[in-house]
Amino acid sequence: MGKIRHQKNKTKSKKNIEIKPNEIEQELEDEEQEQLMDDVIDDENDLAEHNEIDFDKRSVISNKTIKSLVSKKKDKIKLKRQFLLKRLHAAHESKREAKERAERRKTVIVSDMKHEFENSLGQIESYLEEQRLALAEKKNTRKQILSQAERNRQSQANIDIFNKISQSVEYSSNPFELIKKQLEQQILPSTKKKN
C-alpha cells in the first residue's frame, strides 16, 4: 500500500492540469496517423516478403502468420487465395511435366534413320562377329567334365608314363632334368593352341 500512495502523490492533481480540447484532439490524431502509417509500411514490407519467389521455400506460411501480418479481412482472404493458387499451380505443373515426359518416351523418331542404319550396319556386323569369336574362345577354354571311362583311360596312361620314366636309366641318373623335359613337352603344345 505504501508504494501506491507514494505514486499517487507524484501524479499531478486534476486542479492543476489545464484542459485544452483542441490540442489534445490534435495530438491524438497525429499519433494515430503516425501509427497507421507505420502499420501500413510494415504491412507492405511483410507482403513484399511474401511475394518473393523463394519465400515459400524459406518459410511455411500458415493462417496464424497471416493473421499477425495483415490486419484487414480482405487482405487475409487475398493472401490465402494466392497461397492456394501457388500450391495448385505447382501441383499442376509437376503433373503436366510428368505427362510430357511420358509422351516423349512414347514417341518414335523415324525421320532419316534408314540412312544412319545402313551406314552403321557394317559396324554392327563386325561387333556381332567379335562377340561370336569371344564366345567360341570361351567354349574352347572351358574344361569339360570327362566321362568315367575317359578318366580311367587317362589315369591308366599317366600310370604307364610314370612306370616308363621310373624304369629308365636317365631318371635314375638325373630325375629333376627328366621331369623338367617332360613338363616342357606337355606345356608347349597347350601354349601353341592359345596363340
Statement to judge: residues 170 and 122 lie in one domain: yes
Statement to judge: residues 84 and 118 lie in one domain: no
- List the domain range (segments joined by +) for residue 93: 58-103
Q: Which pLDDT score, from 0 to 100, does residue 186 have?
A: 84
175 confidence band (pLDDT: 50, 70, 90): confident
Statement to judge: residues 95 and 126 lie in one domain: no
Q: Is residue 1 part of a domain?
A: no
Q: Which pLDDT score, from 0 to 100, does residue 174 have?
A: 85
Q: Is residue 70 part of a domain?
A: yes
This prediction has a pTM of 0.24
Span of 60-64, 90-94, 103-107 with lowest mean pLDDT: 60-64
pLDDT tens digits, 13-29: 555 555 555 666 666 66
Burial code (b: 16+ CB inside 10 Å, e: under 16) for 167-186 equals eeeebeeeeeeeeeeeeeee
Give the three cell numbers for residue 32.
Answer: 494515430
Statement to judge: residues 141 and 87 lie in one domain: no
Work out how many domains the chain is built from and give that number: 2
Does residue 129 register a pLDDT over 60? yes
Burial class (CB in 10 A: 0-12, 13-18, 19+), 56: middle
Q: Which pLDDT score, from 0 to 100, does residue 55 have?
A: 52
Domain-ending residue, one of 42, 73, 103: 103
Statement to judge: residues 76 and 121 lie in one domain: no
Q: Is residue 89 part of a domain?
A: yes
Statement to judge: residues 89 and 142 lie in one domain: no
Does residue 155 register a pLDDT over 80? yes
The single residue listed with the C-alpha cell 513484399 is 48
Statement to judge: residues 123 and 171 lie in one domain: yes
Q: Is residue 38 part of a domain?
A: no
Q: Which pLDDT score, from 0 to 100, does residue 178 have?
A: 79
Q: Which pLDDT score, from 0 to 100, does residue 82 have?
A: 92
Q: What is the DSSP string of 81-139?
A: HHHHHHHHHHHHHHHHHHHHHHHHHH----TTHHHHHHHHHHHHHHHHHHHHHHHHHHH
Does residue 56 register a pLDDT over 60? no
